[in-house]
Amino acid sequence: MLSLKLPENETQRQAALDDQELLDTPADPYLDTIVRVVRDLFSVQTVLVSLIDRDRQWFKSRLGLDVAETPRSISFCDQAIQSADTFVVNDAHVDQRFRDNELVTENPYVRFYAGQPLFSEEGQALGTLCMIDPQPRKLSPREKALFKDMATLAEGYLKLRRVSHQTEQLRDALSREQRKGMLDQLTQLWNRAGLEHFLAHEQRTAQERGAHLGILFCDLDRFKQVNDTHGHDAGDQVLWQTARRISSAVRPNDIVTRNGGEEFVVLAHVNDVRELEHIAERIRSKIGDSHFTLEQAELPLTISIGCTLIGEAETGANAMKRADRALYRAKHNGRDRVETATD
């Protein structure tokens, strides 16, 4: 098996990655879409947007793999970022570089791997778009070209994201160590600590801009039945998919968090309560309009939502309580509905 050999430009490469402010941030609905399309196009089990950090590879977007990171020392992607072209392993079982790798001999039992480096504006390899499958295969020239095109889309989006307003906010507000403590490992959303931080931050920002900060308190309906009937692994998959659906239903600068269990909270700058209710209805539709796909079942699920605007002189904590009461009313009135706080 290959030993870890760092690129000659490792110092510059790591500095470029750090400057992107990508590590230990929530999953991104646009990258999630690219990952999903690649999996469907190539009929593989796993697709990742993998970032190569100092001693780990961390997945900004993932489909088909439960863990958020693996050691860099066993990473196929570490080899891929040192390649000038698409890095392909047709069958890891017969490849002397990887046949003893624990990712090959143990779960996820990698046999086929293809990784396309993703570069910064300065030309530094940040990570890869990669696809993995437990069956050996080869890529035709047409498939390789198509895979490169998909990587170009992912790379272009990362470059655009770097100059976005939200990235500037992250630079100003949070260090990497702070972000690590605010990220929910299961859903790759901000956790409750992240919610508390951004609630105060976004309330101040809304006041400065003369806008309203809206709160959407979302709770999956009858989620306990999923765990009881299909097991906690299935429940975790539902929570992961719920996070992706909510993120894809909101706007780029809205903040999606997991408050705990099956509860999710969205913070959104809006002009009025009607705009907030429209966002809530998009979330409700995104959850309920199509079944959740698990390994052994397809589940119809719905979500109930309580929403409110934070009052001019109101604390965020008090507004959260009012949104929670509106959520309770949505549950009481039949579930799969949006209710707005009236107090």
Kindly list the catalytic residues. 262
Using DSSP, state whether 107 is helix, strand or coil. Answer: coil
Half-sphere exposure of 133 (CA within 13 A, CB side): 18
Contacts (Cβ under 8 Å, ≥6 apart) of 258: 184, 186, 187, 189, 190, 191, 192, 239, 243, 264, 265
Strand locations in the chain, DSSP E? 46-52, 56-63, 69-71, 87-89, 112-119, 125-133, 212-220, 255-260, 263-270, 292-293, 298-299, 303-309, 338-340
Q: Which of 287, 280, 258 is nearest to 26 (CA)?
A: 258
Instruction: For residue 214, count CB atoms less than 10 angstroms from its CB and return exposed for 0-12, middle for 13-18, buried for 19 or more.
Output: buried
Contacts (Cβ under 8 Å, ≥6 apart) of 92: 98, 99, 101, 104, 110, 111, 112, 113
The phi, psi pair for 217, rounded to 5°, reads -100, 110
Using DSSP, state whether 114 is helix, strand or coil. Answer: strand
